[in-house]
Amino acid sequence: MKLYDSFRSALQSLVVNKLRSALTMLGVIIGVAAVIAMVSVGNGASASVQATILNLGSNLVTVQPQFGNDQGLKGAGAQAQNLTLDDMRSIQNQLGGSITAAEAEQQTGRWQVTAAGQNWNTQVTGVTEDYPTVRDWKLDSGEFFTTSDLNVNAQVAILGTTTAQNLFGDADAVGQTIQLRQLFGGGRDQRARILNFRVVGVLTTKGSTFGFSRDDQIVVPLTTAQHVLTGRLNVVNAIVIKATSSDTMDATTSDVQNILLQRHNISDPASADFTVTNQNDTLAALSSVTGTFTLLLGAIGGISLLVGGIGIMNIMLVSVNERTREIGIRKAVGARRGDILTQFLIEAMALTGLGGVLGILLGWAITEVVHRIPQAANLPLLITSGTVIIAVGVSVAIGVVFGLYPALRAARLHPIQALRYE
Amino acid sequence: MNQSVVQLRGITKTYHIGREITVDALRGVDLDVNAAEFLAIMGPSGSGKSTLMNILGCLDVADAGTYVLAGENVGKLSDDKLAAIRNKHVGFVFQTFNLLSRLNAIENVELPLIYGGDRHQRRERALGALEQVGLGDRVHHRPSELSGGQQQRVAIARALLNDPSMILADEPTGNLDSRSSAEILSVFQRLNETGKTVVMVTHEPDVAAHCKRIVRMRDGIVARDELVPHPRRAEDEIAAGIGAAE
């Protein structure tokens, strides 16, 4: 029996039982659609997390201070203070061309800022001159400060777009003066320290990371932060190094570790007074979390696909029973076991295959609808070709697996008994 | 000239019903059928004629004895081999027609060629067979749109398609009125005149009287085997307005 004839008779019998075929297929359609929709939401979430991480700058190696083992104060809320600007400079000098750039940062906390009669409270961070390169963050207007500004502790400031908007509205902020105020003392003795800063630039809009707006901040030269704002001289909270590419990050990580161990006179890496974090590791950790999430969602879809498959088996068994006589007739005129087996298998596969295709369309429609829900609007929904191939492959495989038993039963029928069946 | 189509020697068949009851359906049947014979197998129910029919049609295998069909020993073949033999050598006509209700006449006739034979000639040969049984104008009708006699003629066309060594008809007129019965018998007689071998199982003497030879079964053996001196002609009966079974 030729395959063409098997297909023809399979399709014929599906068309004859339209309603039944449609209902049976519905199980597979819903299953496949669930897999597609769930996995695409999962993939979207994972891509969104990844984009968020990369929004902080790409190929980053971050060094943060930590209490060494010998200091006995591990994890006690206090901030370790053992990274310096000089550490960063020597990383810059020693690694030179093998890294793209490096910068050091000091958090100075929140400050009350006034300008042009407006009042705003925001985060002020001290950074070094290569901050825009390391963070992949360009200026919207003005110029970033330079090493000479750092050398003289210049009171210059770069504003995030939200901050600039709140202080100056639509007017150009560059060249304006802002005042940072700090209150100290309490009650009647409370006094304020007022520091004037000249705005030299405004950053481009960056959006938010894990819910925190990155556009509401002020950056000033690191030395200014240390000497003028906090008084914590030569202390930095983080050194951030941008590797040349994702591939060189591991090498850069160990280079940075070696330089700092040497500078801090520590022989045992286990007792280092700093930690070096590789952005790849962060991404890997997060993608394993989102991967598990996606797997879970896929499994839920998979279960409904399994239920659909059982539905196929059920209907195929009914169909074999109902068509016992037909099988007898076919056998009488010369159909071999293989012919009957193929016919019923193809019928099951046609059901699941068609169901799979319709399921993909439905799944795609569902992701489109999800996309229109405001809360999920910026979640990219990814239907990858891999998902589609797997969904169709799995549904056809389900046709084979769940169609095999009914088809075998049909093929094994004895022609005489089949012909006598009422 | 008298080329042998069927040669049965010492065929036995025992059925087991439940654990204890056994039925000896056939107890040593010898039978020869030559080419271009028109043979009726008769006998009361339980005489073993259905079992004999199943074995003749290669739907079942004998417990013992030899069966040579068209020169081929088919005694102990596998299921798939038997299917191929049925496809090539046997054309079945059943009492209940056994057409596939969702296929139209020509698709039903084509069925044997799906399982063996050339696809390109399929349509033409099916059309030819339908014309041979006088249904050239009912090609695209479904079985439900045809009368009983017409359905049986479609079944005969299907049986003819692979040019089998033998047409095996099991009570072909059992579900038909007398006029349709006469028509079916006339089709068989015409086919037989063109050289086809026809073996027909029936319990109606009036139907058997149209055959050239009658084999009577009793208790699992051939009880009598006789030639019919003057077979009745179904065509004459139709012309005279009398049914075959009256």
A314-341 per-position pLDDT tens digit: 999 998 999 899 999 999 999 999 999 9
**Which residues from chain B sit within 8 angstroms of residue A334, using beta carbons?**
83-84, 86-88, 112, 115-116, 162
Question: Could you read off the pLDDT of B101-123 as tens digits, one per residue?
Answer: 888 999 999 999 888 877 778 88
Residue A325 shares a structural domain with residue A402: yes
Yes or no, beta carbons of A334 and B115 under 8 Å apart:
yes
Chain A positions touching B84 (Cβ under 8 A) are: 334, 336
Q: Closest partner residue to B100 among A329, A339, A416, by Cβ?
A: A329
Asked if B116 has any chain A CB less than 8 Å from its own CB, the reply is yes
Please check whether residues A264 and A303 belong to one and the same domain. no
Task: Give me the residue label for tokens 């597979």.
Answer: A28
Mean pLDDT, range A31-36, rounded to an integer: 86
Residue A74 pLDDT exceeds 50: no
Give the one of B80, B88, B103 whose C-beta lies nearest to A336's C-beta: B80
Q: Where are the alpha helices (DSSP H) in A112-248?
A: 131-134, 147-151, 161-168, 222-224
Q: By the CB < 8 Å criterion, does B112 face chain A?
A: yes
C-alpha–C-alpha distance, residues A393 and A403, integer Å: 15
The answer as to whether A58 is a domain residue is no
Q: Are residues A127 and A87 in the same domain?
A: yes
Both A41 and A85 in a single domain?
no
Helix (H, G, I), strand (E, B) or coil at A245: coil
Contacts of A91 (CB under 8 A, 6+ apart): A99, A102, A239, A241, A256, A259, A260
Query: Contacts of residue A339 in chain B, CB cutoff 8 Å?
Result: 115
Q: Is B81 an interface residue toward A (CB < 8 Å)?
A: no
B127 and A CB contact within 8 Å: no
The DSSP line for A185-205 is: S-GGG-EEEEEEEEEEEEEPP
> Which positions in chain B touch A5 (Cβ < 8 Å)?
114
Q: Is B103 on the interface with A (CB under 8 A)?
A: yes
Phi and psi at A134, nearest 5°, equal: -60, -40
Return the domain boundaries, chain B: 35-60+78-239
Measured in degrees and rounded to the nearest 5, phi and psi for residue A326 equal: -60, -40
| Type of residue numbered A395 | S
Decide if B84 and A336 are in contact by the 8 Å CB cutoff.
yes
Are A249 and A135 within one domain?
Answer: yes
Total residues found in chain B within this entry: 246
Residues A96, A23: one domain? no
Provide mean pLDDT across the span A80-89: 81
- Domain of residue A47, residue span: 3-53+285-420
Of B83, B94, B99, the CB nearest to A334: B83
As a whole number, mean pLDDT of residues A352-365 equals 89
B86: nearest CB among A1, A326, A333: A333
The answer on A120 and A252 residing in a single domain is yes
Cβ neighbours for B146, distance < 8 A, ≥ 6 positions apart: B105, B138, B154
DSSP assignment of A57-121 equals -SSEEEEEE---GGG--TT-SSPP----HHHHHHHHHHHGGGEEEEEEEEEEEEEEEEETTEEEE
- Give the mean pLDDT of A56-70: 76
pLDDT value at residue A76: 43
Indicate if the pLDDT at residue A77 is higher than 50: no
Residue A67 above 70 pLDDT? no
Interface predicted TM-score of the whole assembly (ipTM), two decimals: 0.92
In a domain, A24, yes or no: yes
B111 contacts in chain A (CB < 8 Å):
329-330, 333
A60 is a domain residue? no
Final residue of a structural domain among A272, A293, A315:
A272
Query: Looking at this protein, which amino acid is placed at residue B98?
Result: N
Task: Write down which residue in A240, A272, A304 finishes a domain.
Answer: A272
State the pLDDT at residue B242. 62
Beta bridge partners of A278: A61
Residue A73 has pLDDT above 70, yes or no: no
A279 falls within a domain = no
Q: Look at residue A381 in the predicted model and tell me its pLDDT.
A: 67
> CB-CB: which of B86, B94, B102 is closest to A334?
B86
Residue B30 phi/psi, 5-degree rounding, is: -110, 130
Residue of chain A with shortest Cα separation from B109: A333
Q: How far is B185 from chain A (nearest CA, A)?
A: 22
Inform me whether the C-beta atom of residue B165 falls under 8 Å from chain A C-beta atoms.
Answer: no
CA distance B105 to chain A (A): 15
As a whole number, mean pLDDT of residues A70-81 equals 50
Sign of CA dihedral B129, B134, B135, B137: positive
Query: Which candidate from A16, A325, A331 shows the least CB-CB separation from B83?
Result: A331
Task: Choose among B83, B103, B112: nearest Cβ to A336.
Answer: B83
User: Quick check: is A212 in a domain?
Assistant: yes
Block mean pLDDT (10 aa), chain B, length 246: 83 87 91 94 90 92 92 88 92 93 91 82 90 91 94 94 92 91 93 94 92 94 93 89 56
Q: Which CATH architecture has domain B35-60+78-239?
A: 3-Layer(aba) Sandwich (3.40)
Question: What's the start-to-end Cα distance of chain A, in Å?
Answer: 27
Q: In angstroms, rounded to a whole number, what is the distance separating the alpha carbons of residues B172 and B188?
A: 10
Does A360 reside within a domain? yes
Residue to substitute from B56, B59, B77, B144, interface A, most A β-carbons within 10 A: B59
Inter-chain contact A415–B59, Cβ cutoff 8 Å? yes
Taking the C-alpha atoms of residue A383 and residue A360, their distance in angstroms, rounded to an integer, is 9
**Among partner residues A16, A416, A419, which is closest to B98 by beta-carbon distance?**
A419
Contact yes or no for A416 and B98 at CB 8 A: no
CA distance B87 to chain A (A): 4
pLDDT higher at B188 or A390:
B188
Could you give the CA distance from residue A225 to residue A219 in angstroms, rounded to a whole number?
9
Which residues of chain B lie closer than 8 angstroms to A421, CB-CB? Answer: none
- Show which of A208, A237, A272 is a domain's final residue: A272
Q: How far apart are CA B233 and CA B237, in angstroms?
A: 7
B95 in contact with chain A, both atoms CB, cutoff 8 A: no
* Residue B245 Cα, gap to closest chain A Cα (Å): 25
Residue of A333, A336, A340 to mutate, interface with B, max B Cβ within 10 Å: A333
Residue A176 located in a structural domain: yes
Average pLDDT over chain A reads: 84
Output the six-digit token pair for A55: 């929004």
Residue A339: how many other CB atoms lie within 10 Å: 22
